[in-house]
Chain A
Amino acid sequence: MLKLARRNFFLGAMFAIALTALAFAAAPKLTAEDAKHTHSGVMIEKAWTRATPPGAKVAGGFVTIMNHGKEADRLIGGSFALSQRDEVHEMTMTEGVMRMNEVKGGLEIAPGATVELKPGGYHLMFMELGGEPKVGTPVKGTLQFEKAGEVAVEFAVAPLGAKSLHGKGGDMPTGQDLGGHEMKHNH
């Protein structure tokens, strides 16, 4: 009886492992980058940040990046008018522990992919803030791509605690223009 139960458990575990392996095998593989330089089709949408509490030395930058080109590109950094430095970071939560890691070598934007930098995930980490981002006053900055190069953006400023640029979250005064809505298409 016990032996049978153990065998069933073993079989179940093997099945689970096999399924996981299958899932990984079925996941789309990212193609290796082509060394040839072609015009890049990176498109940037919705760059935004949040108002920070007084005395804050860091802020998160969020943006949606689409790659309409045929080659993968990488977001390797950028700039933010109010900060000295920035890095591409990833935040993860496991068992209640929040972890921050620099995305070494940059964040890949595969051809045809849309990558959203958003609260709780990938973000630009703006460090050594020299001023406070204020709701409604967009902050100038850039995004630095490996292939597309430097792209100028304006980070709209959402209220403290906002979970998205226009979503619920902060005490957003109604009808206030957050600015920085334009789309940038880089060719």
Chain B
Amino acid sequence: MAANTSLLGRIRLVLWGLVAIAAFVGGAVFLGHMQEAARQGASLPGAVRIGGDFELVDQNGDPYSSEALKGRPHAVFFGFTHCPDICPTTLFEMTKHLEALGPDADKLTVLFVTVDPARDTPAQLKTYLSAFDPRIVGLSGSAKQVADAASKYRIVAEKVATSDGSYTMNHTASVFLFDSSGTLVSTLNWEEPEETRHKKLQRLMQRS
């Protein structure tokens, strides 16, 4: 009886050991697949894919689609010109970053997409962007076009009424960085040090 129990106990121990090994190997194989998938730019299962095809209008009134981004590293952020703080600051910081990148900056496409197409016409964007690096592309479009692009980039954009009957916008403020294959590689955040952001951009350019 006692021998039986100890034998069973030993078998159980061995089986648990096997389960642990199987879990470890299985996990490693799964992680390997995920890494390979990430390298190839595929979206991770369970993770949201950011970015996608869009048709918008640039600050000169010309059509601008996601086709223009093929094979080019790009930085994309959303905002609006009735924005007192974060949008002009982000545009200002991007202007400084483009300057700091030197000749590499010409290979980077920077898109500023409005979340407020009703007020941000291409002409308004053109005027507003004249204070910043001329390589920054301002994008607007119909309400539907903009909403479609915003949803592909997983942008939160919501109108907030102000007490005078006008409105302001809450919106995602991160700058998304994509490499030349269209894979999201990093984001820039205005709360992090300028040096950190610069290094992220340098890495993006090296990668592309």
Residues on A close to B: CB < 8 A? 50, 52-60, 85, 87, 89, 91, 93, 96-102, 119-120, 123, 125-127, 160-161, 163, 170
Contacts and interface: CB of A to CB of B under 8 A. Distances in A.
B202 interface: no
B130 A100 contact: no
Interface in B151-196: 156, 160, 162-164, 166, 168-174, 187, 189, 191
A58 B84 contact: yes
Interface residues of B, number: 36
B65 to A, nearest CB: 25
B173 A56 contact: no
A59 B84 contact: yes
B41 interface: no
B131 interface: yes
A98 B128 contact: no
B6 interface: no
Nearest to B91: A53
B93 interface: yes
Contact of A54 (B131, B170, B189): B131
Nearest to B160: A100
Contact of A102 (B89, B92, B163, B189): B163
Given A54-B130, A54-B131, A97-B156, A85 B164 contact: yes
Nearest to A53: B131
A161 B187 contact: no
- The listed residue with most A CB atoms (<10 A of its CB), out of B82, B91, B93, B169, is B82
Contacts of B162: 87, 102, 125, 127
Contacts of A126: 84
A48 B81 CA distance: 20
Contacts, number: 87
Contacts of A100: 160, 168-170
Given A97-B172, A99-B160, 15 more contacts: A53-B132, A56-B81, A57-B82, A57-B119, A58-B82, A60-B84, A87-B162, A93-B191, A97-B170, A98-B170, A99-B170, A119-B89, A125-B84, A161-B96, A170-B92
Contact of A98 (B86, B163, B166, B187): B86
B160 A55 contact: no
B158 to A, nearest CB: 9
Q: Which 4 A-B pairs have the closest CB atoms?
A: A161-B92, A55-B127, A53-B131, A60-B84
Interface string B102-129: 0000000000000000010000100111
A141 B76 CA distance: 37
Nearest to A161: B92
A159 to B, nearest CB: 9
Contacts of B187: 96
Contact of A91 (B86, B93, B96, B130): B86
Contact of B88 (A97, A125, A160): A160
A184 to B, nearest CB: 23
Contact of B171 (A85, A98, A119, A120): A98
B173 A93 contact: yes
A57 B171 contact: no
16 contacts: A53-B128, A53-B129, A54-B131, A55-B81, A55-B127, A55-B128, A56-B82, A60-B85, A96-B174, A98-B170, A98-B171, A99-B170, A100-B160, A127-B166, A160-B88, A161-B96
